[in-house]
Structures are given as C-alpha cells and as structure tokens.
C-alpha cells in the first residue's frame, strides 16, 4: 500500500485510541472526585461553597488532561502535518 493510505490508516487508528484511552483515566478520576465531594457536602453542608469551588477547579484540571488527548486526536484527523506534507509531495511530484 502506498504512503498516503498508510498515513491515513494510522492516523485514524491513533486518533480513535488516543481519545478512547485518554478518556478512561480522567473519567475515573472525576468520578472519584465528585463522589468524595458529595460525601463531603453531606458531612459539612455549611462548607458547600468552598467544597464546590475546590471540586470545580479540580475537575477543570482533570478535564484538561482529557482535552490534551482530544487535541492530539483532532490534530491527527484535521491538521495532520505528515498527511499534509505527503499530499503536497504527491501533488507536486
């Protein structure tokens, strides 16, 4: 198979696996954080605002890890420099 097809194939597989594996850890981590936040609010209802704020800052940091993966996945599908270079080479060749 030629180079362009191969890069396309590999980009598809990698894009999918990157976001699939990359969503696993953050999901479990967010689940744990939210579960503990609910337990903490039930234990200290008066501290709900402080707990919520800490929770949301934490969720945002965890979400950032999944977004790194999503960004790489999107780059591989829509802005893949290797694909562009090979396409350019093929058209200019």
Enumerate residues 23-42 that contact a second copy by CB under 8 A.
23-42
Q: Minimum distance between the CB of residue 64 and a second copy, rounded to whole angstroms?
A: 8
Q: How far apart are CA 59 and CA 26, in angstroms?
A: 9
61 binds a second copy (CB under 8 A): yes
Q: Minimum distance between the CB of residue 84 and a second copy, rounded to whole angstroms?
A: 11
84 binds a second copy (CB under 8 A): no
92 binds a second copy (CB under 8 A): no
Burial code of 23-60, b = ≥16 C-beta within 10 A, e = fewer?
eeebeebbeebeeebeebbeeeeeeeeebeeebeebbe
Distance of CA 85 to the CA centre of its chain: 25
88 binds a second copy (CB under 8 A): no
Q: Minimum distance between the CB of residue 92 and a second copy, rounded to whole angstroms?
A: 11
């Amino acid at each position: 198979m030629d180079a362009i097809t191969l890069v396309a194939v590999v980009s598809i597989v990698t894009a999918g696996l990157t976001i699939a594996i990359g969503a696993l850890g953050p999901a479990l981590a967010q689940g744990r954080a939210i579960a503990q936040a609910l337990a903490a609010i039930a234990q200290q209802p008066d501290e709900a605002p402080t707990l919520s704020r800490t929770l949301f800052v934490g969720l945002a940091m965890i979400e950032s890890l999944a977004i790194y993966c999503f960004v790489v996945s999107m780059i591989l599908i829509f802005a893949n420099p290797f694909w562009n270079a090979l396409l350019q080479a093929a058209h200019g060749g």
